[in-house]
Amino acid sequence: MKRRAEAAVKDKLKWSSFDRFPYSDSSLPLSDEVMPTHAFQQLVVLLAKLATAVKASISAQACVQVVSSVIEEIGMQMLDEEVFWSSSHGGGSVDDGFGEGGVQQFVLDVRFMLAACAGYVTERASEAFDSLVERALLQYCEETGQDFRTLLRDDKWFQEAIAIALKRMEPLVGRFGYFEAA
């Protein structure tokens, strides 16, 4: 399972090429039109396809176990220094630093993925993604001296942006995660 999750992150999503993540950009638009990055949207689509395939070929119960394991592994891989935080893969990395818009975008990406995958996110995965957000905020605040309590947009802004993104993603993911309960 670990190898499959790693392959999904590194090969299918090409997350080892960090130029797909504009997190070091300070000028990211923080308007009401902001969306999760393409990489996180792709991740949700791939997880939905995986869920559909497992349900069709094995069972709904196996689907929850498999998809939950993959989400958990993705979170653990992103916590790994060599996978997500270092620049050893070429291109940019989050070690290049976060811009203010970039850290907001990263938080939006993580919150979007967790919301879209509702019902499949284990406690361990949730803790891993919470640690990622905490690490990003601490890194940004250490670099800029900004107080983390005043850094992020309010929860309402994130909730509205996520709701818009989920609505736009619904045709691509079918009845997966968030949409299973809808």
Which residue ranges make up each domain of the chain?
2-11+35-87+96-170
CA 103 to mean position of chain CA atoms = 13
Q: What is the C-alpha to C-alpha distance for residues 49 and 47, in angstroms, rounded to an integer?
A: 5
**Residues 35, 134, 170, CA angle at the centre, nearest 5°?**
25
CA 160 to mean position of chain CA atoms = 17
- Is the pLDDT confidence value at 180 over 80? no
User: Residues 149, 107, 93, 70: is their CA dihedral positive or negative?
Assistant: positive
The string of pLDDT tens digits covering residues 18-57 is 445 567 766 555 666 788 988 899 999 999 999 999 999 9
The string of pLDDT tens digits covering residues 61-107 is 899 999 999 999 988 888 876 656 654 333 444 556 677 788 888 99
Secondary-structure percent of the chain, ordered helix, strand, coil, rounded to 5? 70, 0, 30
Residues 6+ apart with CB under 8 A from 175: none
Query: What is the overall mean pLDDT for the chain?
Result: 80
